[in-house]
């Protein structure tokens, strides 16, 4: 049985979510709370397997509550948001930084447009998140921990040969991506391409928020677009993003890979084919195996490959699989990833 705590200031929303969750035989709503302060107490008392958390609540919002819960009584937290608008979702992304695992569209009622899909998504993530064993160990100190130093000669490579950085991430990725883009040089002399698994509809506002927060030119990729140094390009919803000839982005509506679209696998495979030894591939925290075998293709083509370490990963599935199959040159925490990427391109 998966025990769920629902946190929302709307009595109507709480009742609907309780009905939705309890409709599944393996789910049980063990408690509800109307604000973040009450949620903290209920988590301590009830020890739920998963928390469904609203953001905009009186007394204490979901962002602060998430932060306090993850510091003292860590539990998988799913953020629900009724809006995709950047002005309404900024706190949701802050909650992801604080330790929430995923953000999904809040289902507002069975008869609302799109509600069936939203309900399926929520139930899917309740199942997935319940399997994750979170702990305070991946927050704070591990993300900020001192990292190694690197020289150009390591791995027999010269940093000036790197012409592209490719990043793949899933659950827990937004917080690490935010850290990387905040701390790498703003004039980094290569383009960066990113596949981040995220609930449909939130990528546009996430990219806008990330660009505003970091000051980097960050955008949703467009088909045929020229990759420019110092710019970052994120795969859009429902399309695979690849890199093609002449430094151009290729978007495709091909079948899902590993049940995902966009997939890290499609991006990394194209990077290995078109950039080879001139690429750096980075696989961050996430469930499943998406991108692990294809990271090995980048390694085999002479590129640099990096995986996030277990201590700083919320979910060690994707980077762990890459390490298992020997696809990785460097295993690093987020600080180390920033340091290495900066070193690899600093002489361009």
Residues with active-site annotation? 170, 197, 290
Q: DSSP alpha helices (H): ranges in the chain? A: 11-22, 36-46, 62-72, 86-98, 115-130, 141-144, 173-183, 203-214, 264-274, 292-300, 317-324, 334-345
Q: Are 173 and 138 a contacting pair, CB within 8 Å?
A: no
The position carrying tokens 């953001």 is 55
Alpha carbon distances (Å) from 148 to 62, 167, 227, 332: 35, 20, 30, 8
The helix or strand, by DSSP H or E, that contains position 102, with its residue range, turns out to be strand 102-105
Read off the DSSP letter of residue 82.
S
> Which one, of 281, 294, 284, 280, lies nearest residue 319 by Cα?
284
Alpha carbon distances (Å) from 345 to 13, 241, 300: 49, 23, 20
Read off the DSSP letter of residue 35.
S
Those residues whose C-beta lies under 8 Å from the C-beta of residue 111, and which sit 6 or more positions away, are: none
Q: Burial, 4: exposed, middle or buried (Cβ in 10 Å; 0-12, 13-18, 19+)?
A: buried
Q: Are 98 and 92 a contacting pair, CB within 8 Å?
A: no
Q: Which token pair is 6?
A: 């629902």
């Amino acid at each position: 049985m998966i025990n769920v705590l629902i946190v929302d200031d709307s009595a109507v929303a709480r009742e609907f979510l309780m009905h939705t969750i309890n409709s599944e035989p393996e789910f049980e709503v063990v408690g509800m709370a109307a604000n973040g302060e009450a949620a903290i107490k209920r988590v301590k008392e009830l020890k739920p397997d998963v928390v469904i958390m609203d953001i905009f609540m009186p007394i204490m919002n979901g962002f602060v509550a998430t932060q306090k819960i993850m510091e003292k009584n860590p539990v998988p937290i799913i953020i629900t948001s009724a809006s995709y608008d950047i002005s309404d979702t900024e706190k949701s992304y802050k909650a992801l930084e604080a330790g929430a695992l995923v953000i999904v569209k809040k289902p507002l009622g069975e008869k609302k447009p799109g509600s069936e899909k939203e309900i399926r998504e929520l139930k899917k993530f309740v199942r997935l998140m319940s399997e994750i064993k979170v702990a305070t160990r991946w927050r704070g100190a591990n993300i900020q921990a001192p990292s190694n130093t690197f020289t150009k000669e390591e791995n027999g490579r010269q940093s000036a040969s790197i012409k592209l950085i490719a990043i793949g991430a899933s659950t827990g990725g937004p917080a690490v991506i935010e850290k990387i883009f905040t701390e790498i040089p703003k004039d980094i002399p290569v383009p960066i391409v990113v596949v981040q698994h995220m609930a449909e509809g939130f990528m546009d506002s996430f990219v806008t928020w990330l660009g505003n927060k970091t000051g980097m030119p960050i955008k949703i990729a467009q088909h045929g677009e020229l990759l420019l140094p110092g710019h970052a390009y994120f795969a859009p919803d429902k399309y695979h993003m690849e890199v093609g000839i002449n430094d151009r982005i290729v978007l495709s509506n091909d079948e899902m890979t590993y049940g995902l679209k966009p997939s890290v696998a499609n991006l990394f495979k194209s990077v290995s084919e078109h950039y080879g030894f001139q690429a750096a591939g980075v696989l961050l925290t996430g469930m499943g195996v998406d991108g692990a075998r294809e990271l090995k293709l980048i390694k085999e083509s002479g590129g640099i490959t990096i995986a996030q370490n277990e201590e700083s990963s919320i979910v060690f599935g994707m980077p762990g699989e890459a390490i298992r199959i020997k696809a990785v040159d460097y295993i690093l925490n987020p600080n180390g990833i920033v340091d290495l990427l900066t070193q690899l391109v600093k002489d361009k």
